[in-house]
Each structure stands twice: as structure tokens, then as C-alpha cells.
């Protein structure tokens, strides 16, 4: 039998943690630890090794963004040397939770290595679905949020040039997959579009992440925009099928 997902809750509000624990528990998801600030979260991850961390942003002593950076340091690139040095060799996925729908928080969270971003007013169904989604490596953000973020925050210059050089490591097929992935297509939709088996698509996605040193599909989407592989506003029809992520 499959073991239940293990989740750590990091939020300075007791009522928020209690509510989330009840919601997750009702769906068969184990809450293995709770933390009231970022420092406690880092320590709790070290002790309990959860699959997913639900991380508040605004907390005392250490905020959620810094805690996320510390937890995920060494896990953005599949480098066995760096991974061996990390205190979290099987680093968890992090979902940032906040009451503030501000672009700067979303982008900072993703840059820190988070796999997704949710407001605290999500429904119970959305919360449990988010936990299960990020654990599989899938993107959590709706394409509409991604487009807005990239349009506002992408900086072009030397950093972008370096990323362009990274894309040279991808094969033509991998570039095609990355472009469609950035437009919001799921693995199943990619398989249909490219007339490939879904397992083959998963292999392509895994190789893209490994070659570019990316943690998951969220970072791959951002990289596709930042490098100019996909432009803001392109592929609206492709993205339409995934617009219900936020619904």
C-alpha cells in the first residue's frame, strides 16, 4: 500500500495550522510536524524529512522565503556533489502560503525554489490537490500568474545570455517540449500534440530539468520565458486547457 504523503506546516497562526491539519488529515495526508517560524521549519525539515512543506511568508525570526532558500539549497540542480553536501538530500517540495496576492512575493518564492504558491483562502479541495500536485513535480501556478510574473520581473542582460547558452544543451525535440510546457500543456496534452507516449514525454521533461539544472516544471516555465524561448502572450490557445488550475 502506498505510504501517505508527509507534510510540514509552517505558519505563526495556530488557527491556520489547525485548520490545515484537519483538512489534510481528512484526505489521508499526514502532518508530521508544525513550525511557528522559518527557523523552526528548517529544523523540523531536518528532523522529519517531509514530502511537502506548506510555508507561510510572513513569520517572526525568519520569514518563509529565507527558510525556503535554506531548505532547498543544493536541490535546484541534479548535481550529486552538491546534493551530497546538502542537509536535505531528498529535499521536499515547498508551497508558499500567504494572504498577500503580491507579485513580488510570488516571484521571490519561486526564485527561492518553491514549487508553488497559494493564497490562504483556497478551498480544502484545492489545498489537498496542491500538495499532491507538487509532489509529482507538476506546476502549481496557473499560466495566467506565470505570464504576469514574467512580464513584470524578467530582466534581460548577462544573466539571460547565460541562460540562452544553457538552452544550447537541449535537443530540438526538448526545446519543442519546453516551449509547449511553458504554454501550460500537461504531460498528457504534450503526448497528444507531439504524438508520443506519455512516458516518453516524462523522459523529455526530466532530461530538460536535468540539463538546465532546474528543480521542477515551475522553474522550467520561468526559464522558457526568461530566455525568450516563449514570449509573453504567445500560445493562448495552448494554455486555455490549464487555466482551471486556479478555479
Task: For residues 148-166, give the mean pLDDT.
Answer: 53
Contacts of 53 (CB under 8 A, 6+ apart): 7, 8, 10, 41, 45, 68, 71, 92, 93, 94, 95
Task: For residues 124-142, give the mean pLDDT.
Answer: 79
β partners of residue 7: 31, 52
pLDDT surpassing 50 at residue 237: no
pLDDT surpassing 90 at residue 53: yes
Task: Give residue-wise pLDDT tens across range 182-198.
Answer: 877 778 888 999 999 98
Task: For residues 26-36, give the mean pLDDT.
Answer: 95
Q: Among 13-22, 50-59, 233-242, which is the least confidently predicted range?
A: 233-242
Domain-wise residue ranges, the chain: 6-136, 157-245
Residue 138's pLDDT is 64
Task: For residues 84-98, give the mean pLDDT.
Answer: 67
Residue 167's pLDDT is 85
Task: For residues 103-128, give the mean pLDDT.
Answer: 81
Residue 90's pLDDT is 58
CATH topology of domain 157-245: Arc Repressor Mutant, subunit A (1.10.10)
What CATH superfamily is the domain 6-136?
Answer: Response regulator (3.40.50.2300)
Name the pLDDT band for 27 (thresholds 50, 70, 90).
Answer: very high
Q: Which residue has the higher pLDDT, 213 or 78?
A: 213
Sheet with 93-98, strands from edge to edge, namely: 30-35, 6-10, 52-56, 93-98, 116-119
Amino acid at each position: 500500500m502506498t505510504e501517505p504523503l508527509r507534510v510540514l506546516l509552517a505558519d505563526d497562526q495556530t488557527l491556520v495550522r489547525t485548520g490545515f491539519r484537519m483538512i489534510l488529515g481528512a484526505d489521508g495526508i499526514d502532518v508530521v510536524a508544525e513550525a511557528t517560524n522559518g527557523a523552526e521549519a528548517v529544523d523540523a525539515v531536518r528532523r522529519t524529512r517531509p514530502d511537502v512543506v506548506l510555508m507561510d511568508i510572513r513569520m517572526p525570526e525568519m520569514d518563509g522565503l529565507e527558510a525556503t532558500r535554506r531548505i532547498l539549497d543544493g536541490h535546484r540542480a541534479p548535481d550529486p556533489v552538491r546534493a551530497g553536501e546538502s542537509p536535505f538530500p531528498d529535499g521536499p517540495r515547498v508551497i508558499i502560503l500567504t494572504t498577500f496576492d503580491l507579485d513580488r512575493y510570488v516571484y521571490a518564492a519561486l526564485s527561492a525554489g518553491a514549487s508553488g504558491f497559494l493564497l490562504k483562502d483556497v478551498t480544502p479541495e484545492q489545498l489537498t490537490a496542491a500538495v499532491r500536485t507538487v509532489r509529482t513535480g507538476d506546476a502549481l501556478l496557473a499560466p495566467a500568474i506565470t505570464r504576469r510574473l514574467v512580464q513584470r520581473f524578467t530582466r534581460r542582460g548577462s544573466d539571460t545570455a547565460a541562460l540562452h547558452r544553457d538552452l544550447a544543451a537541449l535537443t530540438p525535440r526538448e526545446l519543442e517540449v519546453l516551449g509547449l510546457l511553458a504554454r501550460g500543456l500537461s504531460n498528457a496534452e504534450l503526448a497528444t500534440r507531439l504524438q508520443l507516449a506519455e512516458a516518453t514525454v516524462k523522459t523529455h521533461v526530466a532530461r530538460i530539468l536535468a540539463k538546465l539544472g532546474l528543480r521542477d516544471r515551475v522553474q522550467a516555465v520561468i526559464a522558457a520565458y526568461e530566455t525568450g524561448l516563449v514570449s509573453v502572450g504567445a500560445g493562448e490557445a495552448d494554455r486555455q486547457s490549464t487555466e482551471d488550475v486556479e478555479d
